[in-house]
A = this chain, B = another copy of it.
């Protein structure tokens, strides 16, 4: 076989935003090392953009820019396609065209992967025997997908807990450490460029839900779409919840959770949770991401790193690109996770401990009425605390493990009580493994 320096693999880059531009930079700067690692010289065949005339960083070679993405992908001289456009279309159609032509695809597009089209694309790649690699789509630079796909391939994974959205983790860290309110912390995240002007996708948990769906595939081999993930965001978290968490040794984190629920059933969800301060996830601060994996033999593992940003994301893309190139030269593909049909556990059947906060009227007999409601639904109270507050009182409860449906039924009953003004906080609690 020819030495690596004489073999050329031509790469089509779709999209030239932060990640695309960083990738083009790395391919230029580290070309010698990448040739050694991948077994071929990686040559950029073209960079597809919407507007080829728009201003670009100076290291992006202008002659390579094209607005004809389809022409680039179907160019017979192109060997590998890297999709960094984001969004469902035209990204989906271009990835499909590449796979159809037998060309390996590397993508960072979590929205696409978590859509029904993404599920179909994974099936297509398997059918054609072509690599579809997406390390960068979950938790950015963290080598999570490969760890799950290869190192832990023999492992019976029972649960994955992820902090997979840097924006919300930044906001929650500010609320916990600086005592900031939600609005101020969000505004700071926006000023620093961590949050979009319209932060909905982050703060409502949509981004994390897409990643949870992808994790269900990679860690458990089930096909799950982002839209099917039970989801609750962080907009309802109040200063009082943060204070309670701190006083009782917890830190509030927005978690993407994927866990086995019986033989062929899976719970996939995104919600804020109280995490014990001794848990490794509690120490994940600012815009960092981390994924905590519980396995039957490996025990507890956590992978931590930068979940976003041009360079870190591009670094994950480069790892996949090397992989795809090596596999292409060797005529093999990377092991792909199974794509089993998922049976999702309804959230009401989840069993977990809860934190609950109620505003009540401060008068005799109230506590008895409240605790009776718990008892009626079989929800057992682990600890209770009462705080006086002008005229009324706030009751804070931590329950033992209880079925979520029973806790919701308890809350519905409590809301009927005259003495209960409002349910001001409901949050699941993560227990130490």
**Interface size in chain A (residues, C-beta < 8 A):** 53
Quote the shortest CB–CB distance from A20 to chain B (angstroms): 14
Q: List 8 contacting pairs A-B, 8 Å CB cutoff, sorted by A.
A: A141-B298, A142-B301, A143-B301, A154-B315, A290-B302, A297-B318, A299-B309, A301-B303
Is A408 engaged at the interface, CB distance under 8 Å to the other chain? no
- Contacts A297-B312, A303-B304, A305-B300 given: A319-B152 contact, CB under 8 Å? yes
Q: How many copies does the complex hold?
A: 2
The one of B143, B146, B297, B305 in contact with A26, judged by C-beta atoms closer than 8 angstroms, is B297
Q: A141-B298, A150-B322, A155-B315 are in contact. List 10 more A-B contacts (CB 8 A).
A: A26-B297, A30-B156, A135-B151, A143-B143, A143-B152, A150-B323, A154-B315, A280-B288, A299-B311, A302-B302
The one of B284, B295, B297 in contact with A22, judged by C-beta atoms closer than 8 angstroms, is B297
The one of B34, B314, B322, B335 in contact with A37, judged by C-beta atoms closer than 8 angstroms, is B335
CA of A146 to CA of B147, assembled, Å: 8
Write the A324-356 contact mask toward B (1 if CB under 8 angstroms, else 0): 001000101001000000000000000000000
Quote the shortest CB–CB distance from A386 to chain B (angstroms): 31
Quote the shortest CB–CB distance from A178 to chain B (angstroms): 14
Q: Are B299 and A301 in contact (CB under 8 A)?
A: no
CA of A242 to CA of B214, assembled, Å: 43
Is A190 engaged at the interface, CB distance under 8 Å to the other chain? no
CA of A108 to CA of B34, assembled, Å: 29
